[in-house]
Every structure is written in structure tokens, then in C-alpha cells.
């Protein structure tokens, strides 16, 4: 019963364009007519790879895949690189295509299998443990209450099988571990597809500037170290890792003796986000009629960061333009003097 | 370009001492630590560019680059400490005068305003180059901005180094409006770009890369300056010392060819490194502008 409800929940999330995307993604099994009549059984990848490694044997070797969030159309290949597949998390010797693509268990492949398979269900029979946490997350809550497209397993754990990741990197076997540097790097990018503003802020901060230089080991936090892995909750939720109740514990994991003032730190400074400047200017403009709003904007710790940033841009601009001009003029005058002196001494010689 | 003039300058055997060993040593410490700080720190400020990643890896990556950065920061603080101890000793123990007022002072004096006007006239070709005293106005500006910059960088750097300890001293109600580590990071980053950009362009072009000095002003390394250079650069000081009969005290033998060679061997690669970093930063500016 429990499993059933989870399954329906996931199916619900895969409605509309999402369904199309996943069916396309998994349409790998649209097989061309095989020379031999074959029936698929668990325990053998041979019949699948027979066609899915050769484009001329497939009826459809590429399928359009629509990104549910950006609406971007991508082309997903139906071909499998066996060597790469073997290095992935599901590429072990005791693991087979039909374990995930269950619809095809026992399918008759004489004329190829039916197109547009159901999306793979990761949680019902295998990964019910992280799913338990995931189903309680704010993402799923959004989906239930507002019917929003939210990330499901494969949006973060892309590249688990033979498919390329969104960022073009192949994800090797032990990657879906929170301890793996490549997985940590890929998840930052995965979160950024939706949370661009927070991603930009993170990149501007001490933690994010190190990870953007390519270092993503465990001693520098990525998104999920602070926000949680599967049970990602909005900071207003009392159980949230970044909420009032648990923030001391979260920061304290790395910063021993983190105190109440320390955890007020702005981890996503918006110094390059114009909307904060517009909000400040508008608040000042309407300061007389709406002093409460002005007070609120001025009390936002982001405001002071924006002011410091603009101040420094001014100092940089002024210093380099004035002293740059000074250096240039100084140089030109020195060369002019020398030229004159030389010309003068030349005349004397004549 | 000016081999003719350099030829004459090099031949001159009358040399004067411009910088004492102490000041040369402090400048050396500042160079070494400043380059260590810039090379390990600037990649973080330009983190989204390929060259930054390359440079960061070259400096040992995380966390090695960070350790180098902190060691260099300690060297910078040590140089600043030496400077102020020396200043304190000269003023209060040796009772030397003229640090705060007069031609020997590094603080801004009324005569600097006339020097600036005179210099501007010279730039425009409507006057002669003014006769400067011991410190030219832009040298004073560089000194004062080094002092100010070191103070700002040290304070913000320490906040970033010990964020937990620094935030402990401010009440939570204040911390929720004034986020000390974030402010420190922004100031530290843009003050660093200001300092690196200033030293590698303005300071380099005002002193070492002037047409008559190219490629390096050896005075800060050997301590010595030829009579011709002295008269050309700081005629007012020369005349002042001459009238006070103090000129002979400063006379020193010219630097040996070996010392000159070592100076160039050290200074030229460092100057080039600085210019390369500037070129990197300019490409970032161009990419951003386009």
C-alpha cells in the first residue's frame, strides 16, 4: 500500500511534458527488426546491446527530449556505449537493462519492442530509503500543493546509466555518493538550473568561489551540505537544516563553536543582482510615503553589501581613470623631453 | 630607446645613497609577500575565468594556495610591524625630526599642491618639470595607500580567517543587519583588485617602467642613485642637501656590475609576472564588457 501511494505520486510528477521527456529518454528500447526472433529475459543484456550499439539496427536512434523547466529541446541518443555503461552505478555484472526497464521483461523482440516506455521507477523496488526523505521535502510539497514541475531522482542523479549528464560529463560508478567530488560538482550545477539567483550568490561567497575554481571535495560545502540531500526543506520549516532551529548545528559541522551572530551570515550575497538595487532606490524614492518599507529594505543585510560593492566599484573606477591618465601623461612628457633633448644635441653637433 | 642617456648615466661614478638597507629589506619583504598574496588570491576574485583556475592549480590549489596566502599575509604584517617599530624608534628614541612636517615627510605638504600644478603644466608642455624634494607627491600617495591598504586588507583578512571569533564580539541583533564576514569578503576582494591593479600598473609605470628607468629602477634594490639621476629627479633635495653641506655624507661607491645583474635577475621576472597578471585581469574586464 505504501509503495503504491509512492508510485502514484511519482507518476503524478511525470505528467505532461515531463512524461514525454522521460518516455523519450527511455525510448532506448525502440528496437529495429532483428534478424533473429528474440525474447528478452532478465539476466542478459545481449539482445538489448545487439541493437542499441548499432544505429542502423534501430528504428529510431535519436529522440527529442523537452526540458520540463526551460522548455529547451534536446536530442537524446538511443545508443548505448557498453564500456561507459559498465563503469556506471548500474553497470555492475549483476545488473541488467530489464531490471529498470521492466516493461520489457519477457518482451518479444521479433518486430522490435513497443516505443515510448514508461519512465523508470527508481524507488518502488530499490531506492525506497532516500525516497522516504525525498517525499517529505519541500520540492514534493510544492508538487502536491501547486502541481509544479519539481526535480525527481533523475534530475539530480543524471548520468547514472549510460546517458551523458546535462553538463556533458559521464558519471562514473561511485559518483552518486555525497563524498564524490564529481557528484558534488554536478549537483551544484543541477540546483542552479532552477535556483539561478542563489547559485550566483553562492558563487560570490567564500564557499562558492572555491568550488567554482574546480575544488569540490568535502571540506568545502556545496548546496546539499547545508540544505540537505533528499529532505531539502524551506528555511521556514522547523526541521530545515538552514532554519532557525538547526542552523547552528549545520554551520557548526565545519565551523567549531559557531555562534548566534556567526550564523546570521549571508551565504548568497546578491551584490550583482539589479533587483536589490531597484528595491533600494524605490524604497528611498517612496521613503516619505512608505517609511516602513524603507526601514525594511535598510535592515536587509543584503543592502549594506550592495552599498559596499557599489562604493568599491566607484573607488576602482576613479583610481584607475585618474592615475591611469596621470601615468600616461607622465610617460608622454618624459618621452617628449628626451626627444627634445636629443634633437637639441643633434643640432649642436651639426 | 634611451641607450644614449643611460650610457652617460652608467658611466657616472658619483653615487648617492637613497634608500638604507632597512628600507630595501622592507621593500623586498613586501614584494615577496605581495606577489604570494596576489598569485594565490586573485584567482578567487576572477574565479569564473579559465586562467584563474590554471593559476590557482599552479599555486597548489585548495587548500595549499590558502596556506601560502596566510603565510604571505604574516610576512606582510611582519614588514609593516618592522616599519612602524623603526619609525617609532627614530622618532622617540633617536629624536629625529621631520617625519610629520617638512621636505623629508611622507605626509602631504602644502608644497605638494604646487608640485601637482607644476607637474600638470609640464604634462601639457607649458612649463618645466618641477624640482621635487625627497618624496614626489605620487610617491607619497603610493606610500599612504600602501599603509591604508595594508590596514584594510589585514583587518578584513583576519575577519575571513577567524569568522567565528570575530562575529562572537558583535551582538546577534547587529549581526542580522551587518554581516561582518560578507562585508569583509567584498572589501577584501575589491581592495585586492585595487591594490594589485595599482601596483602592477601605476606603481610600475611611475617608477620602474619610466622611459628613463626601463626596465627597473635599481635604487630600491641597490639603494644607490647616480648624481645625474638625483639632479634630474629630485633637484630640490639635491640643492637643499648641497646648501646644508650634507651631500658628501651620502656619497657611496657605485653598485658593482654583479649587484646590478642580480637586481635585474630578480626584478625583471617579477615585473613581467605583475604585467601578466594585469593582462589577465584586463582580459576579464574586456570579456565582461563585451
ipTM, two decimals: 0.89
Q: Is the pLDDT of residue A5 over 50?
A: no
Measured between alpha carbons, how far is residue A70 from residues A138, A140, B182, B241 in Å?
21, 19, 32, 75
Q: Is residue A258 part of a domain?
A: no
Q: Do B61 and A256 touch (CB under 8 A)?
A: no
Low-confidence winner among A2-11, B130-139, B236-245 (lowest mean pLDDT): A2-11
Q: Chain A contacts of B199, Cβ < 8 Å? A: none
Q: Do A209 and B47 touch (CB under 8 A)?
A: yes
Q: Do A256 and B187 touch (CB under 8 A)?
A: no
**Is A318 in a helix, a strand, or coil?**
helix
Would you call B191 an interface residue with chain A, using a CB distance cutoff of 8 Å? yes
Where do the H-state alpha helices sit in chain A?
A: 2-13, 17-26, 46-52, 82-87, 97-100, 128-134, 138-146, 153-156, 181-192, 196-204, 206-211, 223-227, 247-252, 274-285, 291-299, 301-349
- Residue A37: pLDDT band (50, 70, 90) is very low
Q: In this complex, which of B168, B191, B201 lies closest to A259 when CB atoms are compared?
A: B168
Q: In this complex, which of B48, B182, B193 lies closest to A266 when CB atoms are compared?
A: B182
Name the residue in chain A with its Cα closest to that of B61.
A215
Q: Do A312 and B194 touch (CB under 8 A)?
A: yes
Half-sphere exposure of B44 (CA within 13 A, CB side): 25
Tell me which of A79 and B18 has the higher pLDDT: B18
Structural domains counted in chain A: 1
Identify the DSSP state of B109: -
Q: In this complex, which of A257, A299, A320 lies closest to B177 when CB atoms are compared?
A: A299
Identify the DSSP state of B91: I
Candidates A262, A299, A337, A341: best to mutate against B (most CBs of B within 10 A) is: A262
Over residues A263-292, the mean pLDDT reads: 90
Would you call B178 an interface residue with chain A, using a CB distance cutoff of 8 Å? yes
Strands B224-226 and B15-17: antiparallel
> Do B40 and B63 meet the contact criterion of CB atoms below 8 Å apart?
no
Q: Do B63 and A219 touch (CB under 8 A)?
A: yes
Report the pLDDT value the prediction gives residue A109, as an integer from 0 to 100: 77
Report the pLDDT value the prediction gives residue A69, as an integer from 0 to 100: 58
Q: Is residue A290 part of a domain?
A: yes
Grid cell of A98 as nine digits: 530489464
Q: Who's near B279: CB < 8 A, 6+ residues apart?
A: none
Would you call B272 an interface residue with chain A, using a CB distance cutoff of 8 Å? no
Q: Do A215 and B168 touch (CB under 8 A)?
A: no
Measured between alpha carbons, how far is residue A320 from residues A317, B41, B73, B273, B285 in Å?
6, 20, 25, 20, 13
Q: Is the pLDDT of residue A247 over 80?
A: yes
Q: Who's near B191: CB < 8 A, 6+ residues apart?
A: A312, B149, B152, B153, B156
Q: Is residue A337 part of a domain?
A: yes
Q: What is the pTM assigned to this prediction? A: 0.82
Grid cell of A56 as nine digits: 542502423
CB pairs A-B closer than 8 Å:
144
Scanning the structure block, which residue is given the C-alpha cell 526541521?
Answer: A239
Name the residue in chain A with its Cα closest to that of B194.
A316
Candidates B186, B201, B281: best to mutate against A (most CBs of A within 10 A) is: B186
Q: Is residue A334 part of a domain?
A: yes
Q: Is the pLDDT of residue A13 over 70?
A: no
Tell me which of A103 and A246 has the higher pLDDT: A246
Scanning the structure block, which residue is given the C-alpha cell 584594510?
Answer: B152
Q: By percentage, how much of chain B surpasses pLDDT 70?
A: 96
Grid cell of B33 as nine digits: 609577500
Q: Chain B contacts of A201, Cβ < 8 Å? A: none
Q: Do A319 and B198 touch (CB under 8 A)?
A: yes
- Residue A38: pLDDT band (50, 70, 90) is low
pLDDT in tens, A150-200: 777 777 766 544 344 444 455 555 556 778 888 888 888 888 888 999 999
Candidates B6, B8, B47: best to mutate against A (most CBs of A within 10 A) is: B47
Q: How far is A257 from chain B (nearest CA, A)?
A: 7
Q: Chain B contacts of A296, Cβ < 8 Å? A: none
Q: Do A312 and B123 touch (CB under 8 A)?
A: no
- B225-245 burial by CB neighbour count: b if 16+ within 10 A, else e? bbbbbbebbbeebbebbeeee
Q: Is the pLDDT of residue B272 over 80?
A: yes
CA–CA gap between residue B21 and residue B221 (Å, rounded): 9
Range of the domain at A321: 274-349
Q: Is the pLDDT of residue A17 over 70?
A: no
Q: In this complex, which of A215, A323, A337 lies closest to B62 when CB atoms are compared?
A: A215
Tell which residue, B253, B184, B192, has the closest CA to residue B16: B253
Scanning the structure block, which residue is given the C-alpha cell 542499441?
Answer: A52
- Residue B35: pLDDT band (50, 70, 90) is very high
Q: How far is A337 from chain B (nearest CA, A)?
A: 9
Q: In this complex, which of B160, B194, B202 lies closest to A327 when CB atoms are compared?
A: B202
Q: Is the pLDDT of residue A73 over 70?
A: yes
CA–CA gap between residue A107 and residue A162 (Å, rounded): 22
Q: Do B178 and A301 touch (CB under 8 A)?
A: yes
Report the pLDDT value the prediction gives residue A164, as an integer from 0 to 100: 46
CA A336 to chain centre: 58
Q: Do B167 and A271 touch (CB under 8 A)?
A: no
Over residues A331-338, the mean pLDDT reads: 87
Q: Is residue A344 part of a domain?
A: yes
Tell me which of B243 and A89 has the higher pLDDT: B243
Q: How far is B12 from chain A (nearest CA, A)?
A: 19
**In chain A, what is the straight-line distance between the N-terminal and C-terminal CA atoms, in Å?**
110
Name the residue in chain A with its Cα closest to that of B232.
A334
Average pLDDT score over chain B: 89
CA A34 to chain centre: 39
Q: What is chain A's alpha carbon radius of gyration, rounded to the nearest angstrom? A: 29
Q: How far is A31 from chain B (nearest CA, A)?
A: 43
Average pLDDT score over chain A: 77
Supply the CATH classification number for the domain B3-289: 1.20.950.20
**Is A216 in a helix, a strand, or coil?**
coil
Q: How far is B55 from chain A (nearest CA, A)?
A: 10
- Residue A3: pLDDT band (50, 70, 90) is very low
Over residues A127-141, the mean pLDDT reads: 85
Q: Do A316 and B190 touch (CB under 8 A)?
A: yes
Beta bridge partners of A76: A63
Over residues A234-258, the mean pLDDT reads: 90
Scanning the structure block, which residue is given the C-alpha cell 536589490?
Answer: A276
**Burial zone of B46 (CB within 10 Å; 0-12 exposed, 13-18 middle, 19+ buried):** buried
Q: Do B201 and A308 touch (CB under 8 A)?
A: no
CA–CA gap between residue B191 and residue B156 (Å, rounded): 10
Q: Who's near B176: CB < 8 A, 6+ residues apart?
A: A264, A301
Scanning the structure block, which residue is given the C-alpha cell 520489457?
Answer: A104
Grid cell of A214 as nine digits: 574546480
> Do B2 and A339 meet the contact criterion of CB atoms below 8 Å apart?
no
Torsion angles phi and psi, residue B234, rounded to 5: -135, 65
Element (H, E) at B114: helix B110-123
Report the pLDDT value the prediction gives residue B165, as an integer from 0 to 100: 93
Would you call B71 an interface residue with chain A, using a CB distance cutoff of 8 Å? no
Beta bridge partners of A62: A77
- 3-state SS, B157-181, equals HHHHHCHHHHHHCCCHHHHCCCCHH
Candidates B48, B167, B194, B235: best to mutate against A (most CBs of A within 10 A) is: B167
CA B166 to chain centre: 29
Amino acid at each position: 500500500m505504501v509503495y503504491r501511494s509512492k508510485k502514484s505520486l511519482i507518476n503524478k510528477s511525470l505528467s505532461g511534458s515531463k512524461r514525454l521527456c522521460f518516455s523519450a529518454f527511455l525510448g532506448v528500447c525502440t528496437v529495429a527488426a532483428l534478424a533473429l526472433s528474440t525474447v528478452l529475459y532478465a539476466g542478459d543484456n545481449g539482445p538489448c546491446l545487439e541493437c542499441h550499439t548499432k544505429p542502423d539496427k534501430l528504428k529510431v536512434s535519436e529522440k527529442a527530449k523537452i526540458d520540463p523547466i526551460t522548455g529547451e529541446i534536446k536530442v537524446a541518443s538511443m545508443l548505448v556505449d557498453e564500456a561507459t555503461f559498465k563503469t556506471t552505478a548500474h553497470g555492475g555484472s549483476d545488473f541488467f537493462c530489464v531490471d529498470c526497464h521492466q516493461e520489457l521483461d519477457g518482451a518479444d523482440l521479433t518486430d522490435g519492442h513497443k516505443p515510448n516506455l514508461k519512465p523508470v521507477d527508481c524507488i518502488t523496488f530499490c531506492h525506497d530509503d532516500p525516497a522516504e526523505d525525498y517525499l517529505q521535502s519541500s520540492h514534493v510539497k510544492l508538487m502536491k500543493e501547486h502541481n509544479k514541475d519539481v526535480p525527481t531522482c533523475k534530475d539530480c542523479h543524471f548520468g547514472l546509466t549510460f546517458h551523458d549528464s546535462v553538463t556533458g560529463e559521464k558519471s562514473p560508478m561511485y559518483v552518486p555518493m555525497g563524498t564524490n567530488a564529481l557528484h558534488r560538482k554536478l549537483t551544484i550545477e543541477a540546483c542552479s538550473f532552477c535556483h539561478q539567483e542563489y547559485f550566483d550568490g553562492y558563487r560570490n561567497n567564500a564557499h562558492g568561489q572555491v568550488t567554482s575554481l574546480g575544488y569540490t571535495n568535502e571540506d568545502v560545502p556545496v548546496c546539499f551540505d547545508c540544505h540537505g540531500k533528499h529532505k531539502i526543506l524551506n528555511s521556514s520549516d522547523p526541521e530545515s537544516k538552514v532554519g532557525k532551529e538547526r542552523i547552528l548545528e549545520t554551520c557548526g559541522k565545519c565551523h567549531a563553536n559557531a555562534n548566534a551572530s556567526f550564523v546570521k551570515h549571508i551565504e548568497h550575497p546578491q551584490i550583482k543582482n539589479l533587483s536589490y538595487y531597484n528595491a533600494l532606490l524605490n524604497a528611498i524614492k517612496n521613503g516619505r510615503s512608505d517609511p516602513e518599507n524603507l526601514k525594511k529594505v535598510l535592515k536587509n543585510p543584503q543592502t549594506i553589501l550592495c552599498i559596499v560593492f557599489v562604493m568599491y566599484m566607484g573607488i576602482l573606477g576613479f583610481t584607475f581613470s585618474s592615475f591611469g591618465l596621470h601615468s600616461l601623461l607622465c610617460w608622454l612628457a618624459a618621452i617628449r623631453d628626451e626627444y627634445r633633448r636629443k634633437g637639441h644635441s643633434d643640432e649642436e653637433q651639426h | 630607446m634611451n641607450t644614449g642617456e643611460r650610457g652617460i648615466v652608467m658611466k657616472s661614478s658619483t653615487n648617492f645613497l637613497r634608500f638604507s638597507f632597512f628600507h630595501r629589506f622592507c621593500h623586498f619583504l613586501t614584494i615577496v609577500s605581495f606577489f604570494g598574496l596576489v598569485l594565490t588570491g586573485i584567482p578567487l576574485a576572477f574565479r569564473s575565468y579559465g586562467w584563474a583556475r590554471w593559476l590557482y592549480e599552479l599555486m597548489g590549489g585548495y587548500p595549499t594556495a590558502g596556506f601560502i596566502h596566510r603565510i604571505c599575509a604574516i610576512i606582510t604584517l611582519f614588514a609593516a610591524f618592522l616599519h612602524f617599530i623603526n619609525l617609532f624608534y627614530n622618532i622617540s628614541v633617536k629624536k629625529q625630526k621631520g617625519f610629520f612636517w617638512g621636505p623629508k615627510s611622507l605626509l602631504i605638504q602644502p608644497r605638494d599642491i604646487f608640485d601637482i600644478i607644476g607637474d600638470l603644466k609640464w604634462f601639457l608642455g607649458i612649463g618645466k618639470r618641477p624640482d621635487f624634494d625627497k618624496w614626489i607627491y605620487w610617491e607619497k600617495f603610493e606610500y599612504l595607500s600602501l599603509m591604508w591598504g595594508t590596514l584594510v586588507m589585514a583587518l578584513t583578512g583576519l575577519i575571513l580567517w577567524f569568522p567565528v571569533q570575530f562575529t562572537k564580539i558583535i551582538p546577534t541583533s547587529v549581526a542580522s543587519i551587518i554581516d561582518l564576514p560578507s562585508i569583509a569578503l567584498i572589501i577584501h576582494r575589491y581592495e585586492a583588485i585595487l591594490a594589485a591593479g595599482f601596483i602592477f600598473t601605476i606603481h610600475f609605470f611611475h617608477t620602474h617602467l619610466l622611459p628613463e628607468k626601463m626596465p627597473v629602477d635599481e635604487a630600491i634594490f641597490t639603494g644607490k642613485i647616480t648624481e645625474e639621476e638625483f639632479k634630474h629627479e629630485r633637484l630640490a633635495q639635491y640643492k637643499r642637501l648641497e646648501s646644508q653641506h650634507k651631500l658628501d655624507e651620502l656619497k657611496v661607491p657605485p653598485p658593482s656590475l654583479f649587484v646590478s645583474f642580480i637586481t635585474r635577475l630578480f626584478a625583471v621576472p617579477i615585473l613581467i609576472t605583475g604585467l601578466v597578471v594585469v593582462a589577465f585581469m584586463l582580459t576579464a574586464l574586456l570579456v565582461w564588457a563585451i
